[in-house]
């Protein structure tokens, strides 16, 4: 039978082959992972649909393939006899004559020792520590290696020298020499595949499809920072991002055109009632956008708790597909990273808008009494789809958001 790349998430059309967990001739059990793939949102394992033997691998590591492509030919186990059918090779688009042969079932193929049961993040822990995962004994179900197994193994061994890492991907060194035989420094080559390649494709598609327009604004966040300090004295810590999320949700109620999707084929704009807001998150493997669902219905405490949980999962590459899909608006809080002046963020298609919050700085400001005072000022950048909304509407939206952030009493009043 054919084992194909199936749709493992909303809107998935293709994936990159990261690494194989089996080789031809391996005997596999139902639901055992066969291959790791990278979509534009997550790393996932494709499991075996049933018990059998891997007869042929039809794709290569590093290859980008569409949904529906045949990955493996699997010879299924049966009670006594098996029927093996040659099928169309969808990967090479060549057809073969369909024939059937029956034979007595062969003795089970010995499980190759190199095929290790472990999640992608567990493998990553081992790779980063320079540990050969084949040397680790798994304590999980069916001998699966857990994160704790890797950590215990690292502690029990003398720590090897850490590998040099470049953010995004492993580094490949290419040696070159000049014609005069004088050796030059080797350039650093970073493979363009996996999540970085998927991000590139999605950003390119967004820029080519959406006429981006970016609006900039300054926000005085002095009062909201003082409110957070008051909460801290009462052991009620609420992150600034949680407050930003709630303020955006309130503003979206007043300007729902920015919580929408454009369908050009049907010539419609769908106004989405639920506020599923994505949080652009920087991780070691690249940008990822977990989604906090129904922000409009949640309290500040609930939003803060959801935010902490999703951020932790994102850093550990443990987000589910549901937690990565279905967003209706996106924010990017780059202030903690040092982003200070502004940016032109790329919209997370098919959404209509995205706001970036930049670094907060203390600046001298002239108040209404014409006095010079020191205030905490933050810049924001809002990109929107100019097919769906106009500049005046975007300014009105950011004015409403600014009002809520500058006067926390108004924000609290909306929560009553």
pLDDT tens profile 195-227: 788 888 889 989 999 999 999 999 999 999 999
CB atoms within 10 A of CB 293: 17
pLDDT tens profile 283-329: 887 889 999 999 999 999 999 999 999 999 998 888 888 899 899 99
Domains of the chain: residue spans and CATH: 2-115 (2.40.50.100), 210-415 (3.30.559.10)
Report pLDDT for 138: 83
Exactly one of 91, 212, 215, 386 is catalytic; name it.
Answer: 386
Q: Which residues pair with 4 in a beta bridge?
A: 70
In this prediction the pTM is 0.65
Q: What is the mean pLDDT of residues 352-356?
A: 96
Indicate whether 268 pLDDT > 60.
Answer: yes
CA distance 409 to 102: 78
Report pLDDT for 294: 96
Of residues 371 and 38, more confidence is placed in 371
Report pLDDT for 141: 63
Binned at pLDDT 50, 70 and 90, residue 102 comes out as very low
Binned at pLDDT 50, 70 and 90, residue 80 comes out as very low
**How many residues can be counted in the chain?**
416
Catalytic site includes residue 275: no
pLDDT tens profile 179-192: 555 567 888 888 78
Residue 406, CA distances (Å) to 243, 357, 358, 375 in order = 11, 14, 15, 11
């Amino acid at each position: 039978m054919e084992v194909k790349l199936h749709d493992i998430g909303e809107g998935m059309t293709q994936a990159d082959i990261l690494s194989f967990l089996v080789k031809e001739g391996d005997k596999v059990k139902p639901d055992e992972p066969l291959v790791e793939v990278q979509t534009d949102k997550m790393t996932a394992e494709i499991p075996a649909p049933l018990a059998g033997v891997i007869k042929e691998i039809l794709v290569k590591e590093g290859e980008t393939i569409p949904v529906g492509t045949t990955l493996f030919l699997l010879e299924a186990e049966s009670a006594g006899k098996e029927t093996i059918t040659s099928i169309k090779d969808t990967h090479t688009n060549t057809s073969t004559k369909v024939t059937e042969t029956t034979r007595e079932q062969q003795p089970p193929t010995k499980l190759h020792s190199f095929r290790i049961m472990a999640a992608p993040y567990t493998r990553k822990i081992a790779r980063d520590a320079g540990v050969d995962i084949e040397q680790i004994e798994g304590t999980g179900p069916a001998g699966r290696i857990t994160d704790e197994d890797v950590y215990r193994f690292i502690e029990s061994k003398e720590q090897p020298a850490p590998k040099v890492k470049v953010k995004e991907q492993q580094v490949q060194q290419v040696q070159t020499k000049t014609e005069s035989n004088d050796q030059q420094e080797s350039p650093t080559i970073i493979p363009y595949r996996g999540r970085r390649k998927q991000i590139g494709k999605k950003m390119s598609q967004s820029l080519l499809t959406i006429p981006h327009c970016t609006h900039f604004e300054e926000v005085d966040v002095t009062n909201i920072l003082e409110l957070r300090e008051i909460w801290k004295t009462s052991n009620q810590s609420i992150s600034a991002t949680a407050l930003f999320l709630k303020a955006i949700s309130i503003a979206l109620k007043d300007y729902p055109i920015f919580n929408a999707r454009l369908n050009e084929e049907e010539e419609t704009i769908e106004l989405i009632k639920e506020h599923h807001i994505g949080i652009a998150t920087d991780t070691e493997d690249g940008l990822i956008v977990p989604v906090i669902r129904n922000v409009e219905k949640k309290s500040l405490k609930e939003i803060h708790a959801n935010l902490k949980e999703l951020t932790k999962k994102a850093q550990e590459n443990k987000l589910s597909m549901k937690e990565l899909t279905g967003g209706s608006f996106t924010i990017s809080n780059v202030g903690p990273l040092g982003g200070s002046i502004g940016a032109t963020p790329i919209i997370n298609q098919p959404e209509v808008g995205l706001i970036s919050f930049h670094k907060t700085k203390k600046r001298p400001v002239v108040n209404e009494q014409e006095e010079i005072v020191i205030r905490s000022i933050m810049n924001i950048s809002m990109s929107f789809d100019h097919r769906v909304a106009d500049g005046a509407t975007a300014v009105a939206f950011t004015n409403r958001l600014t009002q809520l952030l500058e006067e926390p009493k108004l924000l609290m009043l909306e929560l009553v």
